[in-house]
Amino acid sequence: MGGYIGRGQPVAAGGNSVETSDIVDDAITNDKIATNAVTGDSIASNAVGNSELSDNAVNTAEIAADAVTGAKIADDAVESEHIAAGAVDNAHLATGIASSKLTGALPAIDGASLTGISAADNTPSFGAKRNSPHQNFTAINTVTKVVLDNELWDTDNAYDTTTSRFTVPTGEGGRYHFSAGCGFSRLYDTDEVYAYIKVNNAYTYIDWQFKNTSLTYSSVGHTDPSFTMSGDLDLSAGDYVEFFVWTNGNGIYNDDDDSVILPYTTVHFSGFKLAGV
């Protein structure tokens, strides 16, 4: 038995005998199509465009895995409200995040995972002081090295307690900051004291001086000045740095000796490399 579809032409029963030309426009509606009757194989490439799809006509269950690629998603088409919490993991983040995207409080970060950050720090670094007893100065008008035989810290084994000397390690040339200080005891009349930081036994701009002008001689009248000096020096590998003092005073005092002394509790010498300069 035959039938008619729209144009009055006879159609044979069974088989695939209905051609597109035999179907009038809008003759086939949704209710004429059985569920799952139209498969992907039955749809020509690009036959169904956006205009043929009603809003919400395609649900998630109808989309094959990996069917929607990046090329099918327009720029800025997915807003943050459509991204589930935790849906974007590290594997889906492009290399680098613009600083403009980092706002507010940041979570704690394992330092081992950070990249692009300079590893420079303030080393080499050292600090030293003097062990007991006090250091006496019997060589008047002579520049004398301060003995600092107690190492407090030394990151690169660059300070030598036997010579009281810091030597710049190989590959560690650069700008360094140094600090040194001490106290003097038993200064009288016009006694003077000077202190210096030397590089390779040459004077630098880091120095300090004191001249006593307020006291006259007596067995109990004396002054005990103290100081701290500091400054920056540009050094090369192999340069060595030391701390020196000078005095013109005998330090007359009723004691076992008649010398100016540096109380060991006041003497210190330290330095470190400046990072980023």
Residue 165 falls within a domain, yes or no? Answer: yes
DSSP character for 232?
A: E
Q: What is the pLDDT of residue 45?
A: 73
pLDDT at 255: 39
Three-state secondary-structure class, residue 182: strand
Residues 6 or more apart whose CB falls under 8 angstroms from that of 47 comprise none
**Average pLDDT score over residue span 256-260:** 49
Q: Is residue 164, in this structure, part of any structural domain at all? A: yes
At 203-246, the pLDDT tens digits run: 999 888 776 555 444 444 556 777 889 999 999 999 999 999 88
Q: How many domains does the chain have?
A: 1
Higher pLDDT among residues 181 and 105, named by residue:
181
pLDDT-derived band at 34 (thresholds 50, 70, 90) equals confident
Query: Residue 28 falls within a domain, yes or no?
Result: no
Residue 60 lies in a domain: no
* Residue 126 buriedness (CB in 10 A; 0-12 / 13-18 / 19+): buried
Placement of tokens 């007991």 in the chain = 132
Question: Which residues lie below 8 Å from residue 214, measured CB to CB, with a gap of 6+?
Answer: 223
Report yes or no: 246 and 193 within 8 Å, Cβ to Cβ: yes
Please check whether residue 24 lies inside any domain of the structure. no
Q: Show the domain range for 233.
A: 125-273
Q: What is the CATH number of the domain that holds 138?
A: 2.60.120.40
Structural domain includes residue 190 = yes
Tell whether 43 is covered by a domain: no
Q: What is the pLDDT of residue 41?
A: 73
Higher pLDDT, 12 or 103: 103
Residue 212 lies inside a defined structural domain of this protein? yes
Per the model's pLDDT, the better-predicted residue between 192 and 273 turns out to be 273
Predicted confidence (pLDDT) per residue in 4-22, tens digit: 455 555 555 555 567 777 7
Q: To the nearest whole percent, how much of the chain has pLDDT over 90?
A: 28
Query: ∠141-147-149 over CA atoms, to 5°?
Result: 175
